[in-house]
Amino acid sequence: MEPAELARRTLEATKERLAELDERPTAEHVEVFDSLHQELSAVLGSLDQGTDTAP
Q: Is residue 19 part of a domain?
A: yes
pLDDT of amino acid 51: 54
9 CB-near residues (< 8 Å, 6+ apart):
1
Residue 37 is predicted with a pLDDT of 96
- pLDDT of res. 10: 93
Residue 7 lies in a domain: yes
Is residue 54 assigned to a domain? no
* Domain extent for 28: 3-49
Q: Contact at 8 Å (CB) between 12 and 36?
A: no
Please tell me the predicted confidence (pLDDT) of residue 7.
87
- 55, part of any domain: no
Interior angle at CA 18, CA 17 and CA 19, nearest 5: 90
Q: How many domains does the chain have?
A: 1
- For 3-55, write each residue's pLDDT tens digit: 889 889 999 999 999 999 999 999 999 999 999 999 999 998 888 887 555 55
